[in-house]
């Protein structure tokens, strides 16, 4: 027999957390990388690119740190300048971000509309810096579906960001303790972040990692795109606890 956790009347039975790039939108253009590169140049005078850095699944602050290292900056310089670079990159991207409405991944709008209609809260867990992530959602026409988020400057790892988003939902009484948290992403790092927190992991093959390369990481649910996402199944099925997996 299946059941949902008992929750107060004013809270939702589940929280849905989404990665951004490759999960909600894809092929968003070169402007994000360009903003990081130009910000680093303006703040430090150093020329550096993201070439050769495996940016997929990384946090923006880590990408900037790798860029600084490749440009020959010391750790002391990197630490001292990082906050300024982060501010500059976010400011630059707001003016550079293109219209992203045509870049929304298949099934995203349908699922988000369904969550909104059901009163199920949705949030972001992304390696993007906060103003970059929210700007992408604005330009994709998705901003109104998300009430909270956790971003690159707010934690050291994606697992920390996922935990932060869940804590924020609890603090705002969107969910009660013990309810299901679902983390949806397109990269093995998203799967690992869900597992580290005991969240249900949903891996979607709309990013750069193919379905067959996601499979060995053993997400709870593996789908080609969000058109295949079974919301009722997720809400009604009793999933094993993290310790028993």
- CA distances from residue 27 to 23, 45, 59 in whole angstroms, order as listed: 11, 29, 18
The CATH number fitting domain 12-27+104-244, selected from 3.40.50.1000, 1.20.1050.10, 3.40.50.720, 3.30.1360.40: 3.40.50.1000
pLDDT for 136 equals 96
pTM for this structure? 0.89
pLDDT for 77 equals 78
Do domains 12-27+104-244 and 31-96 share one topology? The answer is no
* Domain regions of the chain by residue span: 12-27+104-244, 31-96
pLDDT for 2 equals 38
The CATH number fitting domain 31-96, selected from 1.10.150, 3.40.50, 2.50.20, 3.30.160: 1.10.150
SS3 string, 135-168, reads: HHHHHHCCHHHCCEEECHHHCCCHHHHHHHHHHH
pLDDT for 70 equals 86
Average pLDDT over residues 98-112: 97
Picking from 58, 80, 57, 154, the residue whose alpha carbon sits closest to that of residue 68 is 80
pLDDT for 230 equals 93
Given pLDDT bands bounded at 50, 70 and 90, which one contains residue 1?
very low
pLDDT above 70: percentage of residues in the chain:
92
Distance CA 130, CA 135 (A): 8
Do 206 and 23 contact (CB within 8 A), yes or no?
Answer: yes
Given pLDDT bands bounded at 50, 70 and 90, which one contains residue 243?
very low
Q: pLDDT, tens digit, for every residue of 184-213? A: 999 999 999 999 999 999 999 999 899 999
Q: pLDDT, tens digit, for every residue of 5-51? A: 444 446 778 999 999 999 999 988 899 999 999 999 999 888 888 88
pLDDT for 244 equals 40
pLDDT for 10 equals 62
- Strand, coil or helix: what is 188? helix
Q: Is the pLDDT of residue 126 over 60?
A: yes
Do 40 and 67 contact (CB within 8 A), yes or no?
Answer: yes
Q: Is the pLDDT of residue 109 over 70?
A: yes
Sequence-separated (6 or more) residues with CB below 8 Å from residue 57: 127, 158, 187, 188, 189, 190
Q: Picking from 1-5, 53-57, 107-111, 222-226, which range would have the lowest pLDDT averaged per residue? A: 1-5
Average pLDDT, the chain: 89
- Higher-pLDDT residue of 105 and 12 is 105
């Amino acid at each position: 027999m299946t059941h949902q956790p008992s929750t107060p009347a004013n809270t939702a039975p589940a929280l849905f957390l989404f990665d951004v790039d490759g999960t909600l939108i894809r092929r968003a253009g070169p402007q994000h990388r360009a903003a990081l590169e130009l910000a680093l140049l303006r703040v430090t005078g150093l020329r550096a690119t993201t070439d050769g850095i495996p940016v997929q699944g990384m946090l923006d602050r880590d990408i900037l740190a790798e860029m600084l290292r490749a440009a020959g900056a010391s750790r002391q310089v990197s630490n001292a300048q990082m906050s300024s670079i982060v501010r500059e990159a976010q400011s630059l991207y707001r003016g550079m971000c293109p219209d992203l409405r045509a870049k929304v991944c298949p099934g995203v709008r349908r699922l988000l509309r369904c969550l909104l209609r059901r009163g199920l809260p949705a949030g972001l867990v992304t390696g993007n810096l906060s103003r970059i992530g929210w700007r992408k959602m604005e330009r994709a026409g998705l901003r109104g579906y998300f009430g909270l988020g956790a971003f690159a400057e707010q934690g050291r790892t994606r697992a920390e960001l996922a935990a932060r988003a869940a804590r924020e939902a609890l603090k705002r009484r969107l969910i009660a303790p013990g309810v299901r948290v679902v983390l949806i992403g397109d990269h093995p790092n998203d799967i690992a972040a869900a597992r580290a927190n005991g969240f249900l992991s949903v891996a979607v093959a709309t990013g750069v990692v193919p379905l067959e390369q996601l499979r060995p990481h053993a997400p709870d649910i593996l789908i080609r795109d969000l058109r295949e996402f079974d919301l009722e199944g997720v809400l009604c099925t009793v999933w094993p606890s993290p310790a028993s997996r």
